[in-house]
Structure 1
């Protein structure tokens, strides 16, 4: 009898182990091969973390050989139950890996030598799975095998390629199909984000069981409407004592912001303001130091209407972009991230001058898209750091003001801990918030305040009206 029991126990154990092995094989087989190949085991110089990371390429156009590079950083806990957020940086032509992931909302920061990483206390992946996309092709590690693509990029193709990317990416990561999905970004992504949201909205309407469960989007210091942005920008310069009364009047008199091409007199007036009256400041954060390590040759640019404004990298450490370029050009980093697998014939840079100088199509206004997506029930938040002079808070307010939305909750101060984090107003279909003391890259300058905005956005809750509520929100 004892022998029989022993035999039965051994058989039970054998079948249990066999079942576990088979289940493991089935589970592994259920994960697409490319997803397994895209898993990052660890990045060079990375501190220990409990969350998973993936990165690699998704081809969006086989004929031209366009492929977009992504970096997925899953949530720190219960990732399978948390939403997916796509983050896009603007430029046009700047990298979401350089800015969003490495300076703003990602879990890692890069040290000065580019030799190691350290943790960001206010990383957004504590609340969601974050997908960083280098878009369009030619930005960062994203590439095209058709060189002419680099000289005729524009809004429409960027949005279409991003939609194709998402559809194909979700086939590689089927667990994210139908997952609650949001898009976020800043700067010229004020075009990318709503344009992609519109593409997804139309894609979903055309399919009975769409895989992209778009719930809304949020943008910061966003390029929104050429006319109102331009007036608001010049108004900011004057109201913040960056330009003289004389120059302000000259710009307002000589610049017709409704025209696609600016006049010589307008260009001269704007150039005089920038080159003779601004002084040696960081235009993206007017009250913080510039990076002294940058020379004129290493400045980047951003499109605002028809002028190109010189960008000097900003932040508490104004040279962080330099550290990113050191780190992501390392062969061991590229190998760990499955990047530059085709041997791109140029160095990885935070922004592509070629794309910026050759941008072809750019919609004049995002306001019609806002109206359409508000009517479709999408959750839309717009936030603005109030020390940015390139896409300033006045520009955003002028633009949004012409949506003529009904006010649900009038203007009030919102709190971050014991301090006013900024001011906000809730409209029918849209929430607007300022971030006190933040420059163009809000999460870089005010990471805690940006985090509170992000968490409130995901929860669909108003920003905290009191110190007590804010403290609860921050530490729950």
Structure 2
């Protein structure tokens, strides 16, 4: 377990993961013939499909080991980075968090693009674009700094935890429940993985690094490769679907980092490219409560919104997430 990363080269990541899978099966052959499902959230929208695709290619190239890949589940995935970012401001405008005038100014300054002309070679944002986006972001969350606003993008209806990890170290309880969600869970996760006995159990921090464990997304310790960020993931997803591997994508309706409205457009574009027809468009329920909206395209592609969930759907709505996995990932793969 690495404690901190300063760079995230995508190609290295999925190749390392492929190596891990191969070595895992060599060491534990009992798992060789088990069904394999790969799931992830957020930037996993990049490395999970690439890993899945590499497993499929590996199957074609070797006879010694075969990965019985049965399905993928992607939560709030980054699939088309620039469109995902623009969708943030579309969401804020639709909720009245920024004005329509400000939203259209962003479209103008940020070289408006759409689903049909997305490119892997998208240049970085211009200075004028970044300026207007930063102003809109602070306006949306009514704060005076971009850094503070960035912390609030993951949930547009609930404020982030006010407690600190130092409180937990001092033996204080840190809890902030808003709308049935404890927003302080990430702090407890950081505290837990910083415990020496936990690190020893995970065989982590064997070099005894001098700094504490911290979640990479919270403290910006993870710097993404610009080239990797802009990679269009739809062609990779198409290749996976062409191998008859089902894909389920789900998004929290309160996610302001990778908004549902943008992700659903990507899914519809993917379905169109694959000539998948819409076979279901209906509300789904869980434990007699409204779960969200379900869209099914053909037999292999499913999109589900999750009502009341933020960017981290399994964290904010764990029982709904389990329902999605059991009933819409495993079931459709049988």
> TM-score w.r.t. structure 2 length?
0.82
Contact 1:251 1:270 in 2 (8 A): yes
2:199 pairs with 1:328: no
After superposition, the C-alpha distances for 1:391-444 in whole angstroms (9 at most, x for unaligned) are: 010110121121114224231011112222111111122111111111111122
- Label 1:178 to 1:421 Cα distance change in 2 as closer, same or farther (>3 A): same
Contact 1:424 1:432 in 2 (8 A): yes
Q: Which stretch of structure 1 is more off in the superposition, 322-331 or 215-224? A: 322-331
Deviation of residue 265 (structure 1)? 1.1
- Label 1:435 to 1:243 Cα distance change in 2 as closer, same or farther (>3 A): same
1:383 is matched with which residue?
250
Contact 2:72 2:329 in 1 (8 A): no
Contact 1:152 1:360 in 2 (8 A): no
Contact 2:194 2:212 in 1 (8 A): yes
- Label 1:167 to 1:267 Cα distance change in 2 as closer, same or farther (>3 A): same
Measure the CA separation in 2 of the matches of 1:240 and 1:218. 28
2:73 pairs with 1:203: no
Matches within 5 A, 1:230-241: 230-241=85-96
2:237 is matched with which residue?
370
Larger RCO, structures 1/2 (Cα 8 Å, 6+ apart) = 2
Measure the CA separation in 1 of the matches of 2:207 and 2:67. 30
After superposition, the C-alpha distances for 1:114-145 in whole angstroms (9 at most, x for unaligned) are: xxxxxxxxxxxxxxxxxxxxxxxx5x47xxxx
Q: Secondary structure at the match of 2:280?
A: strand
Contact 1:232 1:398 in 2 (8 A): no
1:446 is matched with which residue?
317
1:251 is matched with which residue?
106
Measure the CA separation in 2 of the matches of 1:440 and 1:151. 23
Q: Secondary structure at the match of 2:311?
A: coil
More strand by share: 1
Matches within 5 A, 1:149-298: 153-256=8-111, 259-279=122-142, 282-293=152-163
Q: Secondary structure at the match of 2:182?
A: coil
Measure the CA separation in 2 of the matches of 1:235 and 1:441. 20
Deviation of residue 253 (structure 1)? 0.8
Contact 1:186 1:220 in 2 (8 A): yes
Contact 1:170 1:176 in 2 (8 A): yes
Deviation of residue 461 (structure 1)? 4.1
Unaligned runs of 5+ in 2: 144-148, 166-176
Deviation of residue 152 (structure 1)? 5.1
After superposition, the C-alpha distances for 1:418-476 in whole angstroms (9 at most, x for unaligned) are: 222111111122111111111111122222211111101343349xxxxxxxxxxxxxx
2:208 pairs with 1:337: no
Q: Secondary structure at the match of 1:183?
A: strand
Measure the CA separation in 1 of the matches of 2:224 and 2:257. 20
- Label 1:444 to 1:242 Cα distance change in 2 as closer, same or farther (>3 A): same
2:264 pairs with 1:397: yes
Measure the CA separation in 1 of the matches of 2:237 and 2:316. 27
Measure the CA separation in 2 of the matches of 1:345 and 1:163. 30
Aligned residues: 300
After superposition, the C-alpha distances for 1:283-320 in whole angstroms (9 at most, x for unaligned) are: 2111123212359xxxxxxxxxxxxxxxxx99822122
Contact 1:215 1:379 in 2 (8 A): yes
Deviation of residue 170 (structure 1)? 2.0
1:357 is matched with which residue?
223
Q: Secondary structure at the match of 2:181?
A: coil
Measure the CA separation in 2 of the matches of 1:250 and 1:458. 40
- Label 1:231 to 1:277 Cα distance change in 2 as closer, same or farther (>3 A): closer
Given the alignment, which residue of 281, 288, 292 partners 1:418? 288
Deviation of residue 228 (structure 1)? 3.2
More helix by share: 2
Q: Larger Rg: 1 or 2?
A: 1
Unaligned runs of 5+ in 1: 1-68, 70-137, 142-149, 296-312, 463-476
- Label 1:443 to 1:289 Cα distance change in 2 as closer, same or farther (>3 A): same
> TM-score w.r.t. structure 1 length?
0.59
1:100 is matched with which residue?
none
